[in-house]
Homo-oligomer: A and B are copies of this chain.
Amino acid sequence: MVSFTLTEDQQALTETLRRYAVNDVRPVAHDADEDSKLPQAVVQKGWELGLIPAVIPEELGGFGDPLSAVTGALAAEELAYGDLSLALAVLSPALFAYPLLLYGTAEQRENLLPLFLEETPAPVTAALLEPGIFFDAHELQTTATHEGDKVRLNGTKAYVPLAAESHWMLVYARSSETGVVEAYLVEDSVAGVQVESREKLMGIRALPTYRINFNDATVDAACKLGGVVGMDYPALLNRQRVALAALAVGVARASFEYARDYAKQRVQFGKPIAQNQAIAFMLAESAIEIDAARLMTWEAAWKLDRGEEATREAVLAKQYADKAVLFVTDNGVQTLGGYGFIREYPAERWLRNGRGFPAFAGLAMV
């Protein structure tokens, strides 16, 4: 039955997250960006919202809610509406937790899921993206070579969030024998894992991301996510596409709402600039693109939740959202005119953050 209405739980959740985004995140977002520093108290508060414990099974001490991509998309949008760096930081434990929850062996789950029931954010991350100008998730350069009950990892990963402070990371690598991509649960103490210096990016400056070198980093074969069965990699790729699309919608909405309010209040030639069709149409087109991108994201998420093949929907939603967020945030800057170029106003930050989405892969997960 076609419906665009949130469940009561989803409604309550989005309201909570919106309050957090507006009251906690927005006030610190500018300084966080300028200082390239995550405000730990706000991240901590984000952790305490309990997004991940909610989906940990009851028998392991969680709340046992089903893991829903739709709910995840709703949450991601609200968090990114606050700030993208902080959203990615708050959501980063999911990069490890959700694949583990979905595909981990009983042992892996029992051992590691309790990490996500602590009072502070679980010190985990995941490494998918690789450096260079082109990235193909199906042809990873990082390799995993099985030798007996050991696996050697070799290669370089990029854009790994919070790597320097993570004790565990999920590393995606291509089997040098079969070519199949698998994920490995790797501890930071493993020899041959080298976290390089922090990356400098155009946007998401508050979020520390790193390159990591794997130089014959050797782990037990038992660290392979899901054991013999492994994982459903295409599904995970779709989950990260949906997450990123939802985050893009959140960034776009932030920019749009700000520009809309600015245009209504900024007077030039004796009237609010919003009363010029040129500005009003720009805003209207932004509004349409945001809604379209959101609906596409929801549809892909809905298919994921039904367990259906969702690659087409997820890919198109991600591509559409990539374009939409650039269109909308660029319009946002344009609406503010000269002020759009000044960093005291948030519009330019949303443009910098918004432009990053086509490059982001594996930075979030629903």
Contact = CB atoms under 8 A, between A and B. Distances in A.
A281 interface: yes
Interface in A252-311: 276-278, 281
State the 6 A-B residue pairs at the shortest beta-carbon distance, nearest first. Answer: A277-B277, A277-B278, A278-B281, A276-B277, A278-B278, A277-B281
6 contacts: A276-B277, A277-B277, A277-B278, A277-B281, A278-B278, A278-B281
Contacts of A281: 277-278
A49 to B, nearest CB: 43
Nearest to A276: B277
Contacts of A276: 277
Nearest to A281: B278
Interface residues of A, number: 4
A278 B276 CA distance: 9
A65 B45 CA distance: 82
Dominant SS among interface residues on chain A: helix
A180 B276 CA distance: 58
A41 to B, nearest CB: 46
Interface string A171-184: 00000000000000
A269 to B, nearest CB: 12
A313 to B, nearest CB: 28
Nearest to A277: B277
A130 to B, nearest CB: 34
Contacts of A277: 276-278, 281
A143 to B, nearest CB: 39
A285 to B, nearest CB: 11
A350 to B, nearest CB: 24
Nearest to A278: B277
Interface in A17-73: none
Contacts of A278: 277-278, 281
A319 to B, nearest CB: 21
A36 B281 CA distance: 40
Interface string A109-125: 00000000000000000
A276 B281 CA distance: 11
Nearest to A279: B277
A150 to B, nearest CB: 52
A218 to B, nearest CB: 52
A278 B281 CA distance: 8
A271 to B, nearest CB: 13
A205 B281 CA distance: 37
A276 B277 CA distance: 7
A278 B277 CA distance: 6
A268 to B, nearest CB: 14
A340 B276 CA distance: 25
A148 to B, nearest CB: 53
A277 B280 CA distance: 10
A281 B278 CA distance: 8
A147 to B, nearest CB: 50
A310 to B, nearest CB: 31
A277 to B, nearest CB: 4
